Structure 1
Amino acid sequence: MTRDERGARVMLSRVVEPGDEVCGRWIREVGPVEAVRWLTGGGGQPRGMTDARWAGLRARAERADPDRDLDRARAAGVRYVCPGEAEWPAQLDDLGDGRPVGLWVRGPSSLRMWALRSVAVVGARACTEYGAHMAADLGAGLAERGWVVVSGGAYGVDGAAHRGALAAGGATVAVLACGVDRPYPSGHARLITRIAEQGLVVGELPPGAHPTPSRFVLRNRVIAALTRGTVVVEAAYRSGALVTARAARRLGRFTMGVPGPATSSLSAGVHELLRQEAVLVSDAAEVVELVGEIGELAPERRGPVLPRDLLAPGARCVLDALPARRVAPVDAIARAAATSTDEAIARLYELRALGFVERHGDGWKLTRQATAPVRDHREVR
């Protein structure tokens, strides 16, 4: 990357809106230096662009000052990473003409290296306690397993995911829809500063740039492209988190959702996503099983093993034949178990040795150990 090319891309980051595919195609075709020459009056007009839009871009170009932006970035500890450079995450190229012109990065680590093993955790800003708990738990669990947690730095699920990763001493990346020297939302200024110290803060927009609704939406494509998969924790039908998940799906990344109460509007979007295209996950181990390498498997899920589960089929059949609360004679037990009296007696003594039954004269009765689990309280007739 030559100095002229870098300067041109810095200027274009001030002029071109994130995700503008028309401008992206034009920059790809003529190169960033030539694109700047066109903007400053030395060339034609890109194909597919209206006169009004071209005039707007040229007006922005007149006010752009790449040297000032670079000076301001250096003062804030921010660097500019261009496509093709060593730190550039190659997976962002999957966005085609919608890829960023470049990225402003704040933090000490290598964005390319971190992105190789990263997962996005996104969701509702106005999340419930359940959503915040699940996001923090996922963030911490992924960090403990050596994965980088990527999110948008917003209130709610985003903030909880970042905090979970930080609390576990792990790595996290905040992708902002504004200049990375300008923490947004302002209520997360301390969190974003901490992320910049322990992780990375990334954005397409130059220093001092402010966020807009459209920039938030377009920021989500970077989160999706940067990571191996996206987990959605609580999202209504119109949530921006679903935009991230669907972008991940289009890019061939894994799409995952954490289920919630069927009666909650904040889970409605996640459930719709799960019905159509996503994989249900409930913890970090299940996320890693999906996005990780061969052999990174989640533990097998099963209910508790009860002592009676370990009995041989014949012994279990005799145990089930005993009434719940009274003494039963051997012949009644044998009849209920559909076996012989001798077999029933042999099984009863076996069950007594294991603590399941006790003898009362000529009859047999269940012990407290045997009646503790829920069972079918049928009587021997």
Structure 2
Amino acid sequence: MKVLVVSPDFPFPADHGGRVDVLSRIEALVSLGVSVDLLATVSADVHPSHLQLARAKLGRVRLVRRRASLFFWITGMPYQAASRSGLAKEYLADDYDLVILESEAVAPVLKGLSARDKVALRVHNNESAYFHALARSEKRFAKKAYYFLESLLFRHWSRRVKNRCDYVLHISHREFSREGVGEPSSRVRFLPPHVDAAAMQAPRPKTRGSVLCVGNLFMPNNLQGLLWYLENVHELLRARVPFYKLVVAGNTRGAGAGFLDRYQSVEFHDSPTCLASLYADASVFINPILEGAGVKMRSINAMQQGVPLVSTSVGVEGTGLAPGVHYLGGDTPEEFASAVERLLSEAGLQESIASEAQRYLAEVFDSRALLSELLAS
């Protein structure tokens, strides 16, 4: 069996949540004996070692350069899709059993497919809601206007793309439950991020470890959530827990994070190549995000690493995780601070929360059975 994965980004190396999600699904397909080709868009040259890594795992690997132009606004497409319009010139002569589109942004590739090709759209977010949330988080007027316009354009574009595809695969169980109503169960399906239970790290409870926050710092909703935590929760914990320390790791795209210098007991790692040591030293992982859509991969990744999670309700949206069982939740500063404090002081609670979370992921997020069912259909 042969599958083509069309990705809006080149997932090698898998150094952020979106890439991790795409690569984990590719690896799940390969583990099922499927031959996988990759067609991805890039905004810059790919390092030869990363390309070599991809070719060692996959069949054919093709890259298409993204383009930037102010004229894209008159196309009626979201900018995220219009900048990838080069995919429309990829005439795919290969006989694929299934073509998987990783988001509506790569839908221009549909022009290069024949009517007999079976196409599955992977819905990572409600894109319209996601860009609307970014607009609410953004402070700069030009960026805010861009996000609002993308939100409006995606509302129509996403509907068109979904109607063109044979299958719609939702990453979020919440969004699947909403959009699957009235649709044939064979067409609209739940396909969560793939989690390999065998690769999970056993929980390592520690009562004097750090509090870890991971996420890129160039997206406004991530920055908004971190600032909310620093301004409202951080000082509460410094006053209550003598050994408390916050470790922040994230990509700043070279801009740095000078604003963190205003806060004491904060350690920053800019674009680390490996997070293993940071996870190993952490007692708690936090996801204080306030705006967003879809599944937040950082929460899933932390659970895989055996670190218990404290999150806002937005940070676990669409996962089905139960508060008090799989994670501790808090949507107010006091709730959030109390949850972190409990985990820092109770090693037994750390182990219980982390173990239950991993058990849930192994049962629900190992997507190989769901992929096998899809391929068989």
TM-score with structure 1 length normalisation?
Answer: 0.29
TM-score with structure 2 length normalisation?
Answer: 0.29
Higher relative contact order (CA 8 A, sep 6+): 2
